[in-house]
């Protein structure tokens, strides 16, 4: 008897466990205050509304809700999403007439990344990403073996000159314009206009990922990039941050040039996203629920961001005057994350175990870069700990940094 010859595909050698998951294993200890999570606060889940929706969906049309369904998604949900996108974009000053037939319901917006990778990436295709970028997107692209190229980025988004120098032959630019993961950064209107103009000049397709856009604190972000040229981009949206991630529901808006192939990839991947979940999301959303619900998420997260900014200012009073010897950080205008940078010479990966000893966890920033990561950076989530925990956690972080600086 021969032992079985398992021969892995070449691409499998490039697929690796999430570096971040491995790093975070040291943080799995009781009592640790975690700024490391990428989870929305479970306090924001509309549990009573989901309960009512379950009962209604199973009463009104159990056979439909529990049966196989179309790969495109549940019609009424596609219409509702199209209306909401159109209304939001118009309110931001850029009319966008979204055809429900261009919407594909996905199993979380993560699946949208997988489908796009399948139909747009050949081995060695150039794919452009922000610097840093969402690690889960790079993990979704990796099985199709792209050449991932980082475009220089600052607090306002991608650097247009650097983009122009790299866009030739690229399959697309993957970009998170609103409260980006991991940095919390947003693209302002001027940068969006410049990016749209540059994409139009070079013919570069944009893949716009917008899981956090509704979580703004003081004012809604500028209109989506895709609204400015719907034939030139794919837009990914999610219900995970405004309703609940555990239903794994997202969507994509795609132009006619690519929609049929995305649909075929979707059908081959999982036939369709759960019919039951699509109807639950529709039932909860219809009648303007998000207009009442999302403001409560915004105010919770804003209060916690404020607490984190206050605690940081208190524990690192020299950030502005001596950015080389102090922790420094940005001020995200929404979303879930703040981006911080350690004093010169320090390394967030090395700091992490000491921080955990002091009682706080974070995610080192380097793994979020597709090329040379800045080892001083870290991502701090402010959405799951309480205000009191945020203060204690920042104090613990300051103590760990002080300890490392003294060492």
State yes or no: residue 258 binds a copy of itself (CB under 8 A): yes
Under rule CB under 8 A, which residues in 37-96 are in contact with a copy of itself?
A: 38-40, 42, 45, 47, 50-51, 54-55, 58, 62-69
Helix (H) or strand (E) holding 207: strand 206-209
CA distance 46 to 53: 11
> How many C-beta neighbours within 10 Å does residue 358 have?
19
Residue 245 interacts with a copy of itself (CB under 8 A): yes or no: yes
Q: Determine if 218 is a binding residue for a copy of itself (CB under 8 A).
A: no
CA angle 248, 251, 254 (to 5 degrees): 155
Taking residue 396's Cβ as centre, other Cβ atoms within 10 Å add up to 22
Nearer to a copy of itself by Cβ, of 95 and 169: the residue is 169
Comparison of 42 and 347: residue with beta carbon closer to a copy of itself: 42
Of the pair 126, 354, the CB lying nearest a copy of itself is at: 126
Phi–psi pair at 337, nearest 5 degrees: -130, 150
Q: Does 2 engage in binding with a copy of itself (CB under 8 A)? A: yes
Residues in 318-337 that interact with a copy of itself by CB under 8 A: none
Question: Least separation, in Å, of the C-beta of 314 and a copy of itself?
Answer: 31
Rounded Cα gap, residues 232 and 113, in angstroms: 17
Q: Which is nearer to a copy of itself, 199 or 400 (CB)?
A: 199
Of 158 and 311, the one with the shorter C-beta distance to a copy of itself is 158
Q: Which is nearer to a copy of itself, 23 or 398 (CB)?
A: 23
Quick check: 30 binds a copy of itself (CB under 8 A)?
Answer: no
Edge-first strand listing for the sheet containing 328-329:
328-329, 337-341, 377-381, 363-364
Interface characters, 118-147, with a copy of itself (x: CB under 8 A): xxxxx--x----------x--xx-xxx---
15 is a contact residue toward a copy of itself (CB under 8 A): yes
Interaction with a copy of itself in 160-189: which residues (CB under 8 A)?
171
Binding test (CB under 8 A) with a copy of itself, winner from 34, 102, 111, 133 = 111
Token pair 């999570």 in the structure block, residue: 37
Site for a copy of itself in 364-393 (CB under 8 A): none
CB of 328 to a copy of itself, least distance (A): 30
Cα(13)–Cα(269) distance, rounded to whole angstroms?
21
Rounded distance between C-alpha atoms, residue 263 and residue 241, angstroms:
25
Cβ neighbours of residue 360 closer than 8 Å, sequence gap 6 or more: 32, 33, 34, 35, 392, 393, 394, 396, 397, 400
Closest CB to a copy of itself among residues 139, 398: 139
Among 182, 211, 232, 373, interactor with a copy of itself by CB under 8 A: 232
Does 201 bind a copy of itself (CB under 8 A)? Our answer is: yes
Measure CA of the first residue to CA of the last residue in the chain; give whole Å. Answer: 59
CB of 16 to a copy of itself, least distance (A): 7
Q: What CA–CA distance (Å, rounded) separates 389 from 396?
A: 10
- Structure tokens of 61? 């049309």
Collapsed DSSP state (helix, strand, coil) of residue 188: coil
């Amino acid at each position: 008897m021969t032992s079985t010859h398992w021969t892995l595909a070449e691409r499998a050698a490039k697929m690796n466990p999430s570096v971040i998951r491995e790093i975070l294993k040291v943080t799995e200890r009781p009592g640790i205050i975690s700024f490391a999570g990428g989870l929305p606060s479970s306090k924001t889940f509309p549990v009573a509304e989901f309960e009512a929706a379950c009962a209604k969906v199973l009463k009104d049309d159990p056979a439909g809700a529990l049966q196989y369904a179309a790969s495109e998604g549940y019609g009424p949900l596609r219409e509702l999403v199209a209306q909401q996108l159109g209304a939001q974009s118009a309110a931001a000053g850029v009319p966008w007439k979204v055809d429900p037939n261009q919407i594909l319901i996905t199993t979380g917006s993560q699946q949208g990344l997988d489908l796009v990778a399948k139909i747009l990436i050949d081995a060695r295709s150039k794919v452009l990403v922000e610097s840093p970028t969402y690690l889960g997107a790079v993990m979704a692209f990796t099985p199709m073996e792209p050449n991932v190229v980082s475009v220089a980025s600052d607090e306002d988004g991608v650097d247009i000159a650097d983009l122009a120098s790299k866009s030739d032959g690229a399959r697309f630019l993957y970009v998170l314009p609103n409260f980006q993961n991991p940095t919390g950064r947003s693209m302002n209107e001027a940068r969006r206009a410049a990016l749209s103009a540059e994409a139009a000049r070079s013919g570069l397709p944009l893949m716009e990922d917008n899981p956090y856009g509704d979580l703004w604190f003081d004012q809604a972000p500028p209109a989506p990039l895709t609204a400015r040229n719907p034939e030139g981009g794919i837009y990914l949206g999610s219900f995970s941050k405004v309703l609940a991630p555990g239903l794994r529901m997202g969507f994509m808006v795609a132009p006619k040039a690519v929609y049929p192939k995305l649909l075929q990839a979707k059908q081959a991947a999982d036939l369709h996203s759960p019919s039951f979940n699509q109807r639950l999301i529709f039932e909860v959303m219809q009648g303007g629920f998000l207009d009442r619900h999302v403001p409560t998420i915004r105010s919770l997260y804003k209060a916690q961001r404020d607490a984190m900014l206050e605690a940081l200012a208190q524990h690192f009073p020299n950030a502005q005057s001596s950015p080389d010897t102090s922790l420094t950080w940005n001020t995200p205008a929404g979303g879930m994350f703040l981006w911080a940078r350690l004093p010169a010479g320090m390394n967030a990966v090395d700091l992490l175990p000491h921080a955990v000893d002091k009682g706080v966890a974070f995610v080192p920033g380097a793994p979020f870069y597709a090329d040379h990561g800045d080892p001083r950076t870290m991502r701090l989530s402010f959405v799951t700990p309480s205000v009191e925990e945020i203060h204690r956690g920042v104090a613990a972080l300051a103590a760990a940094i002080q300890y490392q600086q003294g060492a």
